[in-house]
Amino acid sequence: MKGAPRVLHVAWNDLRIMVGDKVFLFWTLVFPMLFIVLFGLLYKSSDSAPAVAELTVVNLDQGRWGAYFLDKVKSPAVDLKIVGSEPAEYNRLIVLPPDFSAKIEAKRGQTLALKKREGASTQAAARVETRLYQAIARMLSELILYGEGDLSKFLDRHAEFRDIVQVKSGFPEKTVTVVPSGFDHSIPGTTVQFIMMMVIIYGGITVMEDRKTGVLARMLFSPLTKGQVFRAKLLGRWMMGLVQALILIVVGKIFFKLNLGNTPLSLLVIAVFAMAMAALSVFIGSLCTKEDMIIGLAVLLANIFAGLGGCWWPSEIVPRGVRQVAMISPAYWAMDALHKLRFFQGGFRDILPNLGVLAGLAVLLGFVSARFFKVRD
């Protein structure tokens, strides 16, 4: 590669200038860290579902069936809080009426009202509701098994319910062994988002400034050709993205025990993604003539791509249509590859389609940005 050392020299110089910038630390570390902490804590306490779901019970039953029913509801995941009357504050409340036992013994149907406070954890509410249904199923099975006998004597002697069908849950083989932490979700998302934001803003503005102030034109007086200047600018912006990613990953590993799965492959994904963003930044820098326009475009694109691409929230909660649209976002392909590596212990073959799309995008954007790259206005 003739001229490669010169291209590398200019790119390295761009990187050196960026690292020496006063706000470099803010963009590459401080601001992304705030995002990581905020989103990491949010992921961690998703839906603020407590480990043990609380159920407040008002047991007014005058017989013995109420206590028996509550015994069936008890579980390590459900905390029963028995109170004498309906309190003003609760998350979930069930009232067993005074004639609860009488109705059962008379085989008369009854419906219990489960009151759920708006705004309380929906996950905890679902857990409690499920447990209540399970308790009812257990009791009904015992009653059917008991047959036509006198129900007032049921509690003294009856066949106990057996869990013949049991449920075992876990993760797929060769994936994760422990539930991933909130930071395992938020660090890759924030890294991808900030590579987009920083590379487009910084990279775009410096290309525009260098053109407007004549730096690019002056570079042509050196042995550099226009093509080499373009390659140098592209390489410099790519290195910016890589430096940003490395800083966040190292900090994530040290402070948040970040687990990326296969780290070299994760870096490869980020490298190809950063290349696409570098090309986009040179393209935007070549088109725009105002700094504010570049900042506006960068914020707009980075936020749309990050939101669609799954950098901010788990894609499982996103409507299917939006997930289809998300494929237009480069962040989607990067995040999907990082998920495969982190959560499914994927290998190179698994992320090949993602790498292909990102590399294709990098080539396309590189071609377009080369076509529009200019050294003078």
Partner 1 sequence: MRRLFLVLGSDVRRHLKSPLAIVIFMAIPMVMTALIGIIFAPKAEQTTLPPIPVVLVDHDKSIASRLVLGAFDADQLKKMFEVTVADEAEGRRRMEKGRASAILIVPEKFTLDLLDGKTTTLTVVKNPAEQFLPDVVEEFVATMAVMLSGAIQAFEAEAKGIRVLLDSPVDLIPWETLGPEFGKAQKKVVAASKYLNPLLIGIKAEETRAPGAKPRFTRRDLFSIMLPGMAVMFLLFIVQTLMRDIISERGDGKLRRMMTTPLRPMELVGARLLGGWVMGLVVLLVMVAVGTLIFGAYWGNFGYFLLLGAAVSFWTAAFFGLFGALVRNRNQAGAFSAPIILAFSLFGGSMMNPEAMPKAFRAIGVATPNRWFIDGAALVRDGRFPLVPLLILLASGLVLAALAAPALRRRISV
Which positions from 63 through 122 interact with partner 1, judged by CB under 8 A? 69, 88-89, 93, 104, 107-119
Minimum distance of partner 1 from residue 124's CB (angstroms): 11
Under 8 Å CB-to-CB from 375, ≥6 apart: which residues?
211, 216, 217, 219, 220, 226, 229
CB closer to partner 1, 79 vs 350: 350
Q: Are 103 and 143 in contact (CB under 8 A)?
A: no
- Asked if residue 284 binds partner 1 (CB under 8 A), the reply is no
- Asked if residue 156 binds partner 1 (CB under 8 A), the reply is no
Minimum distance of partner 1 from residue 41's CB (angstroms): 6
3-class DSSP assignment, residue 224: coil
Query: Which residue among 137, 155, 250, 327 contacts partner 1 (CB under 8 A)?
Result: 137
Query: Which residue among 303, 368, 370, 375 contacts partner 1 (CB under 8 A)?
Result: 303
Q: Are 336 and 322 in contact (CB under 8 A)?
A: no
CB closer to partner 1, 42 vs 375: 42
Q: Report d(CA 18, CA 202) in Å as an integer.
A: 8
Q: Report d(CA 372, CA 298) in Å as an integer.
A: 18
**Interface segment toward partner 1; rule CB under 8 A; list 9-17, 138-146, 244-252, 358-366:** 138-146
- Asked if residue 163 binds partner 1 (CB under 8 A), the reply is yes
Query: Which residue among 74, 257, 290, 374 contacts partner 1 (CB under 8 A)?
Result: 290
Angle CA(338)–CA(343)–CA(346) in degrees, nearest 5?
A: 70
Minimum distance of partner 1 from residue 143's CB (angstroms): 5
Give how many residues touch partner 1 by CB under 8 A. 104
CB closer to partner 1, 164 vs 254: 164
Tell which positions 7-66 bind partner 1, by CB under 8 A: 21-23, 26-27, 31, 34-35, 37-38, 41-43, 46-47
3-class DSSP assignment, residue 164: coil
Q: What is the 3-state secondary structure (H, E, C) of 30-90?
A: HHHHHHHHHHHHHHHCHHHCCCCEEEEEEECCCCCHHHHHHHHHCECCEEEEEECCCCCCC
- Asked if residue 148 binds partner 1 (CB under 8 A), the reply is yes
Q: Are 190 and 311 in contact (CB under 8 A)?
A: yes
- Asked if residue 324 binds partner 1 (CB under 8 A), the reply is no
CA atoms 35, 40, 41, 42: torsion sign? positive
CB closer to partner 1, 171 vs 348: 171
Minimum distance of partner 1 from residue 345's CB (angstroms): 9
Query: Which residue among 2, 292, 324, 377 contacts partner 1 (CB under 8 A)?
Result: 292
Q: Quick one: 279 exposed, middle or buried, by C-beta within 10 A (0-12, 13-18, 19+)?
A: buried
